[in-house]
Amino acid sequence: MKVIGLLGGMSWESSIEYYRIVNERVRERLGGLHSAHCVMYSVDFAEIEELQVTGRWDVAAARLDEATTALKRAGADFLVLCTNTMHKVADQLTGLPLLHIGDATAATVRQAGIQRIGLLGTAFTMEQDFYTGRLAGHGLEVLTPDADDRAEVHRVIYEELVVGVVREESRQAYRDVIARLVDRGAEGVILGCTEIELLVGAEDSPVPVFPTTRLHAELAADHAMGLAEMPGTSQGFTGRGRDKSHVTSVM
């Protein structure tokens, strides 16, 4: 079994879920007392969040690259970056093969026969091309919420979910955002922030939801066990420099 390198702490609330899911997946597949071979490096999210807000992405990338090196020294065979937003710097992480969360998610969306997909996540994830472009590289049309809805989705993540606060009012707000995406033609919705799954699930949506934490973690476990290959976009697309005609949003 390959050793999974989990780069977490962004936030630790969702990193806990990664550890739980990869081990449950291995036990489900292999039975008995089996569990995953994995190592985790957990960063201080306060430092990373400040770098996000101030736009110092290269500094954040350097911090995560140092962590990746530490995971490699600890014996990791491949990297799982336990966050959607920080995949913005995924192509700056060196030394280990990366199982990209966007590829893991898009592959499942395509398998479900869905082409037009709604996306919830941080403002960075919803508004920048590193993520929507990655999904478009798999042939998906991405719908993002309007400006007010994006602001509320982002606020709930950073003010509530990353500190473990789950409020019924916020759950209803997310349900309303999902309903508006469906009204605009979304055939499914990607829960594109690893904390969102702490708040809403399939029961909160009239269309299928795609929980990125679970999809990413389960594929990591399957890959570690030799049961799945790493998915990729056509022609090794990295998400950089692509036009945004594939993204539909009311700005």
pLDDT in tens, 70-83: 999 999 999 999 99
Say what the pLDDT of residue 250 is: 36
Q: In this predicted model, which residue has the larger pLDDT, 244 or 69? A: 69
Please report the pLDDT score of residue 68 as a whole number. 98
Side-chain half-sphere of 63: how many Cα atoms within 13 Å? 21
CATH topology of domain 102-211: Rossmann fold (3.40.50)
Residue 231 pLDDT: 85
Helices H, strands E: what count in the chain? 9, 8
Q: What is the mean pLDDT of the chain?
A: 92
Which of these ranges, 22-26, 46-50, 151-155, 193-197, has the smallest mean pLDDT? 193-197
**Is 70 exceeded by the pLDDT of residue 249?**
no
Task: For residue 116, list its beta bridge partners.
Answer: 141
Calpha distance 82→33 (Å, rounded): 25
φ and ψ at residue 4, rounded to 5 degrees: -85, 130
Residue type, 12: W
Find the catalytic residue in 38, 82, 193, 233.
Answer: 193
Q: Does position 30 have pLDDT exceeding 60, yes or no? A: yes
* Average pLDDT of the segment spanning 221-230: 95
DSSP state letter for 87: G
Catalytic: which of 83, 105, 194, 213? 83
State how far the Cα of 65 lies from the Cα of 92, in Å rounded to an integer.
Answer: 7
Provide the phi-psi class of 99: left if phi over 0, else alpha when psi is between -120 and 50, else beta.
beta
4-100+214-236 is classed CATH 3.40.50.2300: no
> How far apart, in whole angstroms, are the C-alpha atoms of residue 56 and residue 67?
17
Instruction: Compute the distance between CA of residue 85 and CA of residue 130 in angstroms, rounded to an integer.
Output: 9
d(CA 81, CA 200) in angstroms, rounded, equals 22
Biggest alpha carbon–alpha carbon distance for the chain: 52
Enumerate the domain spans of the chain: 4-100+214-236, 102-211
Q: What is the pLDDT of residue 184?
A: 97
DSSP 239: S
Percent of the chain with pLDDT over 70: 92
Specify the amino acid at residue 228: A
Specify the pLDDT at position 124. Answer: 95
Q: What is the pLDDT of residues 133-176, one digit of tens each?
A: 999 999 999 999 999 999 999 999 999 999 999 999 999 999 99
Q: Is 105 in contact with 37 (CB distance < 8 Å)?
A: no
Give the Cα separation of 124 and 129 in Å (integer).
9
Cis peptide before 249 (omega within 30 of 0): no
Q: What pLDDT score was predicted for residue 243?
A: 35
pTM of the complete model:
0.88
Which residues on adjacent β-strands are paired with residue 211?
Answer: 191
Same topology, domains 4-100+214-236 and 102-211? Answer is: yes
Segment 19-48 mean pLDDT: 97
Place of tokens 């949003």: 249
- Burial, 222: exposed, middle or buried (Cβ in 10 Å; 0-12, 13-18, 19+)? middle
Q: Is the pLDDT of residue 193 over 50?
A: yes
Asked if the model's pLDDT at residue 59 lies above 60, the reply is: yes
Residue 185: exposure state from Cβ atoms within 10 A (0-12, 13-18, ≥19):
exposed
Indicate if 82 belongs to the active site.
no
Q: Tell me the pLDDT tens digit for each residue of 90-123.
A: 999 999 999 999 999 999 999 999 999 999 999 9
Catalytic residue list contains 83: yes
pLDDT at 194 (0 to 100) = 86
